[in-house]
Amino acid sequence: MRPGLALLALLPGAAGAAHLTVQITDPGDRAHLRSVQAAWRSAERDLRALGLHVPDVTLVSVSSAAEFARQTGEPWFVAATTRGHTIRTQRLGALAARGTLPLTVRHEAFHTAQPASLPRWLAEGLARLFSGEAALDPGGATGLEVLTDERLGQRLAARQAGDLLPAYREATRRARERVRAQGWARALGVK
């Protein structure tokens, strides 16, 4: 396939459901479209149950980690990023090989629907809880418990390889505590 040539797939949903348009550059990623669709439908249903509006979204799967970094400005090791109603991911096949494709789709779906007022640390922590990624975290201290919420948000924004996983884990720990104390709706600020 020529570089830059994208295959498009419109993944239909139920009547009234948000549409997900998927653009892929690697023909091998076609094999993962059903998994993307299933994760999207599940996420959409669960987001609506939380009282969130799910917009129509375009998911762009890039051809390589280097291309992902070039297009997004994110480090090569980040799985995906969402800006507005566009999700950009690493190759779907690469995410599937790591066993993270459904989790990544759900995480990024959360970001497309989350209230804009959420601070970064809370948005990331809630996205990880919502997606199921948090279940993969090792137990124990993160080493970042003493950081203020603001400093934690800054650490997440810096996107440094050695700091990112502990920062995600700490954001998730704090978000989990908030959900336990307040429930999802109050943690999201939707009720």
Do both 161 and 69 map to the same domain? no
Q: What is the pLDDT of residue 160?
A: 80
- Give whole-number Cα distances, 35 to 2, 56, 102, 104, in Å: 25, 18, 7, 11
Q: What is the pLDDT of residue 190?
A: 78
Q: What is the pLDDT of residue 161?
A: 78
pLDDT tens-digit profile, the chain (191 residues): 444 444 555 555 554 667 999 999 999 999 999 999 999 999 999 999 999 999 999 999 999 999 999 999 998 889 999 999 999 999 999 999 999 999 999 999 999 999 999 999 999 999 999 999 999 998 889 999 999 999 999 999 988 878 889 999 999 999 999 999 999 999 998 76
Among 73, 97, 113, the domain boundary falls at 113
Q: What is the pLDDT of residue 159?
A: 83
Q: Which two tokens stand for residue 99?
A: 């066993």
Q: Which residues are bridge partners to 83 per DSSP?
A: 86
Do both 124 and 188 map to the same domain? yes
Do both 92 and 137 map to the same domain? no
Q: Which two tokens stand for residue 100?
A: 């993270």
Q: Is 13 left (phi over 0), alpha (psi -120 to 50) or beta?
A: beta
Q: Which two tokens stand for residue 183?
A: 């429930």
Do both 68 and 97 map to the same domain? yes
Do both 109 and 154 map to the same domain? no
CA distance 113 to 174: 20
Do both 128 and 108 map to the same domain? no
Handedness of CA 39, 179, 120, 76 (dihedral sign): negative
Domains: count for the chain: 2
Residue 10: in which H helix or E strand, if any?
strand 7-11
Q: Which domain holds residue 185?
A: 117-191
Do both 142 and 159 map to the same domain? yes
The conformation of residue 147, written as its DSSP 8-state character, comes to: S
Angle at 156 (CA atoms; ends 152, 157), nearest 5 degrees = 115
Residue 34: in which H helix or E strand, if any?
helix 33-49
Q: What is the CATH number of the domain that holds 45?
A: 3.40.30.160
CA distance 11 to 130: 22
